[in-house]
Homo-oligomer: A and B are copies of this chain.
Amino acid sequence: MFKKILLPVDGSEPAKRAVQLGADVAKHYEAELTVLCVYRHHSPLEASLSMVRPYNPETPDKALREYAKGVVEEAAGELTELGFKNVPQVVKRGPPARTIVKYAQENDFDLIVLGGRGVGDVEGFLLGSVSHKVTSLAQCPCLTVK
């Protein structure tokens, strides 16, 4: 049933566990894996409200893109150790949840495996907002990992 599995990563511990679990599911289903890291556009307007204003507004986006590239490279490296070769590494800019869901739909992924983070509550009641939005908006099944 699962042929194409998308692994959105952000460098967090739950995302790393999601990579491990996604690899396990991919092995059981002989499915393909893709790692994706989405970074937000650095808004000069937002930045202008803070104390620090970049001289060159291109620079923050570039730094974020480089960071995202490092995150997908690390995840792909873990997958190589687990026996997966040539795993596509995708970096996108945009609102994280919507960008993940759009990418999954446009490329016919049939499973998204992602880390769910508890925020805002001592009991971990709330899912991280990105994983909650992805799970809500995605057309395909979503596997959430703690």
Copies in the complex: 2
| A127 x B116 contact (CB < 8 A) | no
Residue of B nearest to A112 (CB): B144
**Interface presence of A66 (CB below 8 A):** no
Complex Cα gap A29–B139 (Å): 24
**Interface presence of A24 (CB below 8 A):** yes
Identify A135's interface contact among B28, B135, B140, CB under 8 A.
B135
Complex interface bits, A111-142 against B, C-beta within 8 A gives 1, otherwise 0: 00000101000011111000011011111111
Identify A21's interface contact among B1, B127, B137, CB under 8 A.
B1
Chain A interface residues toward B at CB < 8 A: 1, 21, 24, 28-29, 116, 118, 123-127, 132-133, 135-146
